[in-house]
Amino acid sequence: MIGPAQCRAARGLLGWTQQDLADRTELGRITIQNFEAGQTKPRRATRHVIQETFERAGITFVDDEHDQGVKVRKE
């Protein structure tokens, strides 16, 4: 499941602001801001919505025992 650093990195790769992500996920910008800052741990369903939104935009998440990160899928 997506973590705060992956969320920030994915937004950066897409050139999205926190407000852009909030609009696309229909979540509050404060929810995104607090999650990325590590101030809150959103429910699993909320993190799932964020991750799915990024995946639809072409982001692939790497999260295994050796690596954690994000990359943009090639078309």
Per-residue pLDDT of the chain (75 residues; tens, 9 = 90+): 899 999 999 999 999 999 999 999 999 999 999 999 999 999 999 999 999 999 999 999 987 777 777 888 766
We report the CATH number of the domain holding residue 46 as 1.10.260.40
pLDDT for 25 = 98
**Structural domain count of the chain:** 1
pLDDT for 35 = 98
Listed residue (44, 27, 41, 38) closest to 5, CA to CA: 38
Could you list the residue range(s) of the whole structural domain that residue 20 is in? 4-72
pLDDT for 75 = 64
For residue 72, the surrounding DSSP H or E stretch is strand 68-72
pLDDT for 69 = 79
